[in-house]
Amino acid sequence: MLDYVADKLPGHNQDIHNEARQGEAYAPFANDPNTYSKKFYIESYGCQMNFADSEIVASILNQEGFGATRHYENADLILVNTCSIREKAEQTIRKRLTEFKKIKDKKPGVLVGVLGCMAERLKSKFLEEEKLVDLVVGPDAYRTLPALVDGAEGGQKAVNVLLSREETYADISPVRLDSNGVTAFVSIMRGCNNMCSFCVVPFTRGRERSRDAESIIKECKDLYDKGYREVTLLGQNVDSYYQAPPAPQDGIVRTVTFAKLLEMVAQISPLLRVRFSTSHPKDITDDVLHTMAKYENICNYIHLPVQSGSTRILQLMNRTYTREWYMGKINRIRELIPGCGISSDIITGFCTETGNDHSDTLSMMEYSKFDMSYMFFYSERPGTLAQKRFEDDVPEEIKKKRLLEIVELQNKLSLESNKSDIGKTFKVLIEGNSKRSDKDWMGRNSQNKVIVFPKENYELKKGQYVMVQVHDCTQATLIGKMV
């Protein structure tokens, strides 16, 4: 599954792409107002997949005469693409919908819709009980959005939350929202077959299905031709990607595994960087690791959620691996890809978690030396296996205390990791200006670390590669100079 929405804790480590995961609003670029007769505004919350889905929605709406606007006050259609991973995420979204309802009350005719996982989980309750929205559309029903808008304009209840075993939106070219023109997300699969007991994703996004490789390669080539220099392949569990085409005439079955897909994307051009997210520890194979090691443009970075360092808790979570097995996978990554960046997801306070279990998580972090992590305390979600089977019996004050210890340790590990890079030189893809000064560039190295460096007098632009030597760091950022 993809990354969670995290609490804003003091010192919480985050990279340049994690602002949205903190629950902040996300709005698309503004189209030429003369091009479209109607305007839509969209905000996305949660994982990267939601943001990729919003780009699909934008493409569908463009075909129906809707152009994007940055200002919801100007919109005829306001959409919120939602996350159900944690209760706090849903509370944030409900608050935002209440604000949008005030716009509706002042401007009759404006429609408000809920998309994504929260729509799938609550379904028609949004219309019947909340009375905050006009449309409720699940992740597999975005093609029906134009018809639902027409129905809502006529006063009908507009709901489609049917899950699909086939839908991948492979034929839809996403509209890149608020893009820097350098990096882009490409969805390669949808849904999840893993039944982690804490997770709502299998219930809100349905069964796992892979998009056909040809359409993925076509999209990545198109992005490269348009000047993009990095793609991130997205899936709830990318390592499960598998395409088995119909039996060919010559009798040779040409299946495409995730390792093969990675190679195919890497071969588009050595100037196109390739990342992926997220990997399930039980599924990432040596084939994937060997492919990463073979191609310089496949970034040396893996997001490998551990969730807990306790084998007992991992079994309750239905993660299907042990503490020792995960440590073995870390060892294998370090062996085949020396210097590979590794990040993780960590949940504390899961049902029945003891002090010893918590200590196991801390020691796992020390062993794995994660460069960064997304850290949360357990939030029981309705309909999950954990909610049905276990009691959420760890007091919230203990959850918060343990989470603070985890955050403090990760801050220490992140700083140590960055300090170890001082004196090293990295190939950096320029993504844009530094947030703090337009006199500095910001980019990332292969290990997904943000590097800030002065522009000096060089004639450079976004999308170019430069060599940068690190001479200082903070907990979250490397500071360097072009060489």
The predicted-structure confidence for 445-480, as pLDDT tens digits, reads as follows: 999 999 999 999 899 999 999 999 999 999 999 999
**pLDDT at position 7, please?**
34
pLDDT tops 90 at residue 246: no
pLDDT of residue 88: 81
Per DSSP, the three-state class of 194 is: coil
- pLDDT value at residue 27: 43
| CATH, range 425-482 | 2.40.50.140
- Provide the percentage of residues in the chain whose pLDDT is more than 70: 91
Radius of gyration of the chain (CA): 22
Q: Is the pLDDT of residue 25 over 70?
A: no
Report the pLDDT averaged over residues 275-293: 96
At residue 384, does pLDDT exceed 80? yes
Task: With H, G, I as helix, E, B as strand and everything else as coil, classify residue 452.
Answer: strand
Q: For residue 36, is pLDDT > 60?
A: yes
Other CB atoms within a 10 A radius of the CB of residue 273 amount to 24
What pLDDT does 34 receive?
Answer: 55
State mean pLDDT over 403-419.
98
The residue ranking higher by pLDDT, 247 or 199, is 199
Mean pLDDT, residues 375-393 taken together: 95
CATH 3.40.50.12160 domain locations along the chain: 20-160
Structure confidence at residue 2 (pLDDT): 30
380: left (phi > 0), else alpha (psi -120 to 50), else beta? beta
What CATH architecture does domain 183-419 belong to? Alpha-Beta Horseshoe (3.80)
403 against 70, higher pLDDT: 403
Residue 124 has what pLDDT? 77
CB 57 within 8 A of CB 123: no
Sequence ranges of the chain with CATH classification 2.40.50.140 = 425-482
* Helices 145-153/48-63 angle, 10° precision: 70
Q: What is the pLDDT of residue 173?
A: 93
Residue 132: the pLDDT is: 83
Sign of CA pseudo-dihedral 221, 227, 229, 235: negative
pLDDT tens readout for residues 85-117: 778 888 889 899 989 988 888 888 899 999 999
Q: Which overall architecture, per CATH, does domain 20-160 show?
A: 3-Layer(aba) Sandwich (3.40)
**Average pLDDT in the 276-298 region?**
97
Distance CA 480, CA 483 (A): 9
Per-residue pLDDT at 201 exceeds 50: yes
Confidence at 322, pLDDT banded by 50, 70, 90? very high
Q: How confident is the model at residue 18 (pLDDT cuts 50, 70, 90)?
A: very low
What confidence category does residue 19 fall into, taking pLDDT thresholds of 50, 70 and 90?
very low
pLDDT of 386 > 60? The answer is yes
Q: What is the pLDDT of residue 254?
A: 77
Place of tokens 């809707």: 66
Specify the pLDDT at position 30. 43
pLDDT, tens digit (0-9, with 9 covering 90-100), for 255-266? 999 999 999 999
Least confident interval from 2-11, 254-263, 271-280, 314-323:
2-11
Q: Are strands 465-473 and 477-482 parallel, antiparallel or unpaired?
A: antiparallel
Alpha-carbon distance of 83 to 10, in angstroms, equals: 23
Answer yes or no: is pLDDT of 313 > 60. yes
What do you get for the CA distance between the two ends of the chain, in Å?
Answer: 39
pLDDT at 248: 65
- Please, where in the chain does CATH 3.80.30.20 lie? 183-419
129 pLDDT tier (thresholds 50, 70, 90): low
pLDDT digits (tens, 9 = 90+) for 151-171: 999 888 899 999 999 999 999
Mean pLDDT of the chain: 90
pLDDT of residue 8: 32
Report the pLDDT averaged over residues 11-39. 46
Share of the chain above pLDDT 90, in %: 76
- The arithmetic mean of pLDDT across residues 377-390, rounded, is 94
